[in-house]
Structure 1
Amino acid sequence: MLLQSKTVLITGAATGIGRASALLFAREGARVAIADINRADAERTARDIGEDGGEAFFVECDLRQTGQIAYAVDETVRRWGQLDVFFHNAGVAGPGLLEDTTEAQYDQVMDIHLKAGFFGAKYAVPHLRRAGGGSILFTASGLGLRPSRQSPAYSASKAGLLMLARALAVALGPDGIRVNAICPGPIDTTPLWQGVLARHPGIVPDSYAEMNRQVRSIKRLGTPEEMARAALFLVAPENSYITGVALPVDGGGAMS
């Protein structure tokens, strides 16, 4: 198993990509801490891991509060004695067009994506060092690689995560800590995708999904499970020579 005896903290693991990653990582031998504000779904994810023979627990965490991020990291280490992987996956849909974006919406997307990634890494790194090295992974976006007309704040927050990953890869490499990012395209069935659709009240969901399919070389949307497999590839110790990578997992959308 690729993550045997490893301890992993995943933010936003109640649903979507985070949930799929938590389930997969647990099947690969990891003990998984699920940091989320969504108690009901996070507890369901932890319960499903337990019923499958794995180990997991839920730690409630509002990622807009840096003290709660520190608590989630400390609670993970208190429970299991170590931290090997910090996976900052939590995200929200972008607020929309420049002229429609409020300061509160801007702060939310920056806080949850970029600020939480920065401080999550800050609090995780001392424990990763004590473990002899480890991995940090960010869920960025294809819209961090190329600009979004519909939500510039979202693109800016995800592009910031990509540069943060690269800067930390340079800074932490000597400590044996690898830092990478995955850049998903639109992922069907996730709450974030539903948030994108809700951002445009006049949108026809099927038509918008079809447009997103057609701009990709692989003419479909992605699945949470596909993102989880990419995440596993990047955090697995057997891939210990990979750092500073922004991996598009978007059906070819980054080329469009």
Structure 2
Amino acid sequence: MQEPDTAASGPSANQDEGSMKLESRAALITGAATGIGRASALLFAREGARVAIADINRDGALQTVRDIEREGGQAFFVECDLRRLKHIAGAVEAAAERYGRLDIFFHNAGVAGPGLLENTTEEAYDQIMDIHLKAGFFGAQYALPHLRRAGGGSILYTASGLGLRPSRQSPAYSASKAGLLMLTRALAVSLAQDGIRVNAICPGPIDSTPLWQGVLARNPDIVADSYAEMNRQVRPIKRLGNPEEMARAALFLAAPENSYITGVALPVDGGGAMS
């Protein structure tokens, strides 16, 4: 099977310049109350997607829904604790029921790493593995029959530049994100015959997001300004990223017009993966 509408016509397919990249698609995005997820939900909706927002942050998620609807898009909120598989399954079913289909499963939600090896508790380790890797695995499993029913689609993960290279500050964080990247590759191979593409974005540090604030807060010895400056200076593009830049990368990988791209771990980090 092939992803609908575009794959069969190949790279020379005609597309009106003014057409929306995700028109008629339905997307489920985890962690869309804030940060990268929120920016992605807004952008996906502007590109024609109907968006289900799965998050534990009710107030932030409802604000994202209101902002999408104010722009004329369609969205709804489903409360979802990603540490509970029943919640993930319920969110997938709610999205498919509301929109009659599911074309994109974007597991974006994440938490800051618990810190150094000697500071990591079993509870903190389990939390980061559950939210990043376990939820990503089972979310894809629950989404799979709906993606097949739609004739194909996209699974997308927010991994990290620290899944491509090790983190000195939080080995558990690196391990969870590296696991997501191998999951991306394994699913890309196993689901290609169904017309389902699986890709990941690998952000660098993203300014003004809850995760970035969590990184700063986990170590009271960190001076926020100097730590941010260090992160700017170690990458060729001397600045931090912003959520909208990550959203544009996510849209690129999720859009059916890019139907020949799968198994990609795309660094969106100002060149940090090379430094």
Q: TM-score range by the shorter chain?
A: over 0.9
Which of 34, 38, 48 pairs up with 1:19?
38
Give the secondary structure class of the aligned counterpart of 1:128: helix
1:242 equivalent in structure 2: 261
Q: Select which of 232, 236, 256 maps to 1:217.
A: 236
- Distance in 2 between the 1:13 and 1:115 partners? 18
Q: 1:35 aligns with which of 54, 77, 89?
A: 54
Counterpart in the other structure of 1:106: 125
Instruction: Describe the superposition over 1:99-135 as per-residue Cα deviations: whole angstroms up to 9, x where unpaired.
Output: 0000000000000000000000000010000000000
Would you say 1:159 and 2:178 are equivalent positions?
Answer: yes
Q: Which residue of 1 aligns with 2:89?
A: 70
* Residue 200 of structure 1, CA deviation: 1.0
TM-score, normalised via structure 1 length = 1.00
1:47 Cα deviation from its structure 2 partner: 0.5
Distance, in Å, in 1 between the alignment partners of 2:102 and 2:58 is: 22
Q: Which of 1 and 2 has greater Rg?
A: 2
Q: Which residue of 2 aligns with 1:94?
A: 113
CA distance in 2, matches of 1:108, 1:253: 27
- Superposed, 1:118-129 pairs within 5 Å as 118-129=137-148
- Of 116, 124, 135 in structure 1, the residue corresponding to residue 154 of structure 2 is 135
Structure 1: distance between partners of 2:220 and 2:41: 32
DSSP 3-state at the match of 1:242: coil
Structure 1 residues not aligned, in runs of 5+: none
Per-residue deviation at 1:202?
1.7
- TM-score scaled to structure 2, two decimals? 0.93
- Aligned-pair CA distance for 1:42: 0.2
Q: Which whole-Å deviations, capped at 9, do the CAs of 1:215-250 have from their partners, x for residues lacking one?
A: 000000000000000000000000000000000000
Query: Using the alignment, how far apart are the partners of 1:16 and 1:37 within structure 2?
Result: 14
**Which residue of structure 1 aligns with residue 218 of structure 2?**
199
Determine the C-alpha separation between the residues in 2 that align with 1:170 and 1:126: 17
Q: Give the unaligned 5+ runs of structure 2.
A: 1-19
Between the aligned residues of both structures, percent identity stands at 82
Moved over 2 A (4+): none
Q: For residue 171 of structure 1, what is the aligned residue in structure 2?
A: 190
Tell me the equivalent position of 2:208. 189
- What CA deviation, in whole Å up to 9, does each residue of 1:129-168 have, x standing for no partner? 0000000000000000000010000000000000000000
Q: CA RMSD in A?
A: 0.3
The letter of the residue matching 1:181 is A
Cα distance per residue 1:5-28 (max 9 Å; x no partner): 100000000000000000000000
2: distance between equivalents of 1:143 and 1:92?
A: 13
